[in-house]
Structure 1
Amino acid sequence: MEGAETQTPLVCPGHTRGVVQVSFSHPTPDGVFLISACLDGKPMLRRGDTGDWVGTFEGHKGAVWSARLDRPALRAATGSADFSARLWDALTGDQLHDFNCGHVVKSVDFSPDSHQLLCSGKFKKLKVFDLEKLAPVAELEGHTVGVKSALFLPCGTKAISGGEDKTLRVWDLKSNTQIKTVEVQKEITSMQLSYDGEIVTVTAGTQVHFWGTKELDMIKSLDCPIVNPTLGGSAKVKDITSASLSPDRRRFIAGGPADQAWPDPWVHVFNFENGEEIECNKGHHGHVWDVAFAPDGETYASGADDGTIRIWTTEPGKHDDSKTSSE
C-alpha cells in the first residue's frame, strides 16, 4: 500500500463521548480554527493547527450532532438532539440565540455571507433562519424521512441536502422550490463542501460521490469498500460514515462505519483518480464518525467514538515531537 508509513497524530482529548462532526474554519487573520460536535452535548473550539483547546459552548440539553463556524469564524452554530439550533459568539462563548426546530437537528450550515443559517434533521425539512432578524425565513419540504446533511452552495441562493431517503436534492432558495434530485443506492450519511466551493463530497454506503456545484451534476462516483486489516481483507464494510476531499483533489479521506457490531478505528486515505486505498492511519479506539481536511491540505482531522479528535498530517512524522494537544 502506497504511503503506508505509520504516523503519530496530534491527539485532542476533552470530550467524554463520541465526536460526530469536525469542521475547520476558513483561514482568518488569527489562523484556522476547528470546531467539534459531540454526543456529550458540549461542542468545543480549538486551534486548527495545534489542536489546543480554546473554549466549550455550554447550554445544550442533549447530544450535539453538528457544529460549524461562519466564514470569519466570529460566530458558531450547533444543532442538537434537544430540538434546537443555537447561535454562539465564537470569541466569548456566549449564546446569542436558540432556534426551536421541533425535532432533532442533525445539520447546521452558515450561508456564504454569514447572514443565514440552514438547519435540517429528523423534522424532514430544511429550515432557513435570518441571523440578523433572528427569525425563520423559509421551510423547504420534499424529503420523506430524516435529513442527515444540508449545505448552502457558494452562490448563496441554492442549497443541497441528503439523508435517509437515498436522494440528493437541490433547492432554489429564491423560490423555495426543489429544482433537482439525484438518487443514490443507500442513505446519504454525510456531505462536505470543498473550500473552493466547487465540489460537494457525498457518502452513501460504500460509495463516495463528487458533485459539481457549477454543473449541478455528479462529477464522479467511486466505490470504496473499507477493508478491516485485522481480518486479512476478507470482510468489507458496507457503509462509510464520512469523507473529505483534499484541496488539491489528489486524495480523499474516509471514516467508518457507525456499526457497533464492527467499529472501524482507522482513518482511510484514497486516491481521488481511481478510488484505491493508499494509506490507513490507526490510532482511534472506536469507529470514526467524521473526517475533514484543513484548508491548506497539509493536515486533516478525525472525530471518533473514543471521544478524541486526532489531527493527522499528509507528511508522516511531522507531529512526532508533540503528540497531545493542550486543553
Structure 2
Amino acid sequence: MSDPIDEQNGVDHHDDGQAEFNDLLDYSRNITKTLFGKQLLIYPGSLNIPDDRTMRRRDALKRIKTRDQYGNLMEELVKPDHPLARPRPNVQLEMAPKENIDANAKESAAQKQSQDKTVALTKKIESAANSVRSLILPWMNSIDKKSSAMDEMIKPEWHPPWKLYRMISGHNGWVHSLAVDPSNMWFASGCRDGLIKIWDIASGRLRITLTGHISGVRGLAVSDRHPYLFSCGDDKMVKCWDLEQNQVVRHYHGHLSGVYCLAMHPTENIIVTGGRDSVARVWDMRSKEQIHCLTGHTGTVGALQCMDGNSSQLITGSYDTTIRLWDIKMGKTMNTLTNHKKSVRALALKHDKSAFVSGAFDNLKQWTLPDAKFVQNLSGHNSIINCLATNQQNVLVSGADDGTLFFWDWRTGHNFQKFASPVQQGSIESEASVLAMTFDRSGARLITGQSDKTIKMYREDPNASEETHPIDWKPDITRRDRF
C-alpha cells in the first residue's frame, strides 16, 4: 500500500533516494564545471543544466522533507492564538480594529491640522490681498480718472501764428495804456510823459496829441455811445475828453493816490477807477459824482473789468493777490477769489462775457462767469504778467515784464506761440517790458505798448497753414487739477 503523502505529491517512494542522489551529483558536477571548466576545457555550452522535470522533483523533495521534520511545529504556527503564528490577511483585519481607529484618528487629526493651516494661510493671503488692493485701487482709480480726463481733453483749435509788422515811435516814455476807437479807425496811447497820442490804425501815423495830465497816464477808455475819451494817471486825476473839441470837459476828484486803471460800463453811464489807495470808485459819467467807494482790498487795485449783468458787474484785481466780484448797484462784494499767490495786475474778459482770465506772477487763471468757478491754469511765463487781451477767435494773449508775448487757445489753454518782442534801436533788452495791449475791434490786429517807448502792432501770418505750422500739442492730465 502506497504512502498517502507520496501519492498526494505525485512522487514514488522507491525512487526518492536515487533521485536525491542524482540531484546532488548533478549539483556537484555543475559547480565543478563552473569553477574549473576553463582549465578542463569545458565550455558553458556543454554544461548539463537541469530541465523543468528535474526542478519540479527538487521542489517536491523539499516539501516532503519539511513536512517530515517540521510538521508538528507548522501545525502550531497555523493556530491564530500562537505567539509565533504568522498573521493571515483576514486575521489582521479582524485583530487590528483599534489600530485602524487610531490610524484613522491620527489621519483625521492630520487632515484637520492641515485644513487649519490652509484656512490660516488663506486668511493671510486674503489680508495681504486686501492690503495690496487698498494700495492699488486708488492708483488704478487715478489712472482711470486720468485716462478719462485724457479722453475728455479736446485738441486745441488751430490758430495761425502772429508776427510783428509795424513799430511806432513817438513817445518819450513808457507806454502804459491803449484804447481803440469803436469805429476801428484810430487808437489812443497813454505815456509816462503825461501825453495822450491818437494814431491812425491803418497807417500808424500820428493824428493828434492831447496834453493835460502832469504825470504818467495809466488808463484809457473810449465810450461806445459818446464821443468821449476817459483817462487816469499818477496825478490822481480822472479826466473826460471831448474828442470833437479835443479838450477836457470833466474832472473826477476823489482818489487819494495814483489811479492805475479805468473801465467803462457797457450799458450804464458810469465809469469805474482803481488805484494805489486800495479802493475802486464808481462815478456818474455826466454828473461827476462818486456813486460808490468799493472798499475791501488791502493793496493797489491794478486791474478792472466791467460787464453787463444782473449780479456781478465789476471785477477788480489787486496787488493783495485777491480778485473781487462786485454788484455795482448795491456796492457790495459778491465773491472773493484768493487762488493767486502773487499780485494780480491784469484782467481780461472773454469776447462773449461768459468767462474771464486773471494774470499774476505765478500764472494765468481762467474763471467762469457769473459764478467765478476756477477752470484751469495757464503756466509758462517766468516774469510778472502786466497785461492781457482776447479776441473773437478765442485767442488770448499775455504780455510780461521780460518782453515775451504768449498766445493761447482760450478753450484748451494751449500755448500755441511764444514771441520775444524786439526793442527799438538804442534801447537795452531790459526795456522790452510789455506794459499794455489790446486788440482792435475786428480782432485782426494786436497793439502793444512797451517800456522801450514804442507801440508795436501784430497780425496773423497770411501765408501760414496747418501744414506749414502744425499744432504742437499733447494732453497734459495734471494741469487742470491744480489751483
TM-score band w.r.t. shorter chain:
0.7 to 0.9
Equivalent in the alignment of 1:231: none
Higher-Rg structure is: 2
2:442 to 267, 274, 296: 296
Task: Summarize the Cα distance change of 1:25–1:70 in structure 2 as closer, same or farther, 3 Å threshold.
Answer: same
Q: Which has the higher contact order (CA 8 A, sep 6+)?
A: 1
Equivalent in the alignment of 1:90: 243
- Secondary structure of the equivalent of 2:299? coil
Q: Where in structure 2 are the equivalents of 1:174-193 lying within 5 Å?
A: 174-183=329-338, 184-193=340-349
Letter in 1 for 2:176: V
Deviations 1:167-211 (A, max 9, x none): 010111121111100111211011123443333332111412223
In structure 2, list runs of 5 or more residues that go unmatched. Answer: 1-157, 425-431, 465-483
The list of structure 1 runs, each at least 4 consecutive aligned residues, that deviate by more than 4 angstroms after superposition, is 2-6
CA distance in 1, matches of 2:205, 2:437: 18
Task: Summarize the Cα distance change of 1:6–1:216 in structure 2 as closer, same or farther, 3 Å threshold.
Answer: closer
Percent identity over paired residues: 17
Aligned-pair distance for 1:253?
Answer: 1.6
Task: Summarize the Cα distance change of 1:111–1:7 in structure 2 as closer, same or farther, 3 Å threshold.
Answer: closer
CA distance in 2, matches of 1:156, 1:13: 43
8 Å CA contact retained: 1:3, 1:279: no
Equivalent in the alignment of 2:199: 46
1:154 to 308, 311, 322: 308
TM-score after normalising by structure 2: 0.57
1:61 to 209, 214, 217: 214
2:401 paired with 1:248: no
Deviations 1:59-107 (A, max 9, x none): 1111111111112462111111111111111233210111122210001
Task: Summarize the Cα distance change of 1:15–1:282 in structure 2 as closer, same or farther, 3 Å threshold.
Answer: same
1:224 to 352, 371, 380: 380
Q: Where in structure 2 are the equivalents of 1:164-313 lying within 5 Å?
A: 164-183=319-338, 184-225=340-381, 237-249=382-394, 251-257=395-401, 264-272=402-410, 273-280=412-419, 282-285=421-424, 286-313=432-459
CA distance in 2, matches of 1:74, 1:9: 30
How many residues are aligned here? 296
CA distance in 1, matches of 2:244, 2:460: 30
CA distance in 1, matches of 2:163, 2:328: 44
CA distance in 1, matches of 2:258, 2:463: 41
Q: How large is the RMSD of aligned CA atoms in angstroms?
A: 2.5
Task: Summarize the Cα distance change of 1:73–1:201 in structure 2 as closer, same or farther, 3 Å threshold.
Answer: farther
Letter in 2 for 1:241: N
Letter in 2 for 1:84: M
In structure 1, list runs of 5 or more residues that go unmatched. Answer: 226-236, 258-263, 319-327
Aligned-pair distance for 1:114?
Answer: 5.4
Equivalent in the alignment of 1:78: 231
8 Å CA contact retained: 2:388, 2:396: yes
Aligned-pair distance for 1:317?
Answer: 7.6
Letter in 2 for 1:247: Q
8 Å CA contact retained: 2:163, 2:460: no
Task: Summarize the Cα distance change of 1:299–1:317 in structure 2 as closer, same or farther, 3 Å threshold.
Answer: farther
Letter in 1 for 2:237: S
Aligned-pair distance for 1:299?
Answer: 1.2
8 Å CA contact retained: 2:356, 2:369: yes
Letter in 1 for 2:461: E
CA distance in 1, matches of 2:413, 2:398: 15
8 Å CA contact retained: 1:169, 1:178: yes
Which one is further off, 154-163 or 305-314? Answer: 154-163
CA distance in 1, matches of 2:280, 2:163: 40
Letter in 2 for 1:128: V
CA distance in 2, matches of 1:142, 1:210: 22
Task: Summarize the Cα distance change of 1:161–1:8 in structure 2 as closer, same or farther, 3 Å threshold.
Answer: closer
**Larger strand fraction of residues:** 1
Equivalent in the alignment of 2:76: none
Deviations 1:206-265 (A, max 9, x none): 41222333443333321122xxxxxxxxxxx2322222223211x3222111xxxxxx33
TM-score after normalising by structure 1: 0.82
8 Å CA contact retained: 1:67, 1:77: yes
8 Å CA contact retained: 1:43, 1:67: no
Task: Summarize the Cα distance change of 1:113–1:239 in structure 2 as closer, same or farther, 3 Å threshold.
Answer: same
1:20 to 176, 183, 199: 176
8 Å CA contact retained: 1:109, 1:119: yes
Which one is further off, 61-70 or 271-280? Answer: 271-280
Which one is further off, 286-295 or 123-132? Answer: 286-295
Task: Summarize the Cα distance change of 1:271–1:175 in structure 2 as closer, same or farther, 3 Å threshold.
Answer: closer
8 Å CA contact retained: 1:290, 1:302: yes
8 Å CA contact retained: 1:47, 1:54: yes
8 Å CA contact retained: 1:87, 1:96: yes
Letter in 2 for 1:174: K
Aligned-pair distance for 1:156?
Answer: 7.9
**Larger helix fraction of residues:** 2
Equivalent in the alignment of 1:261: none
CA distance in 2, matches of 1:204, 1:19: 20
Equivalent in the alignment of 1:139: 293
Task: Summarize the Cα distance change of 1:282–1:62 in structure 2 as closer, same or farther, 3 Å threshold.
Answer: closer
CA distance in 2, matches of 1:315, 1:146: 38
Task: Summarize the Cα distance change of 1:193–1:284 in structure 2 as closer, same or farther, 3 Å threshold.
Answer: farther
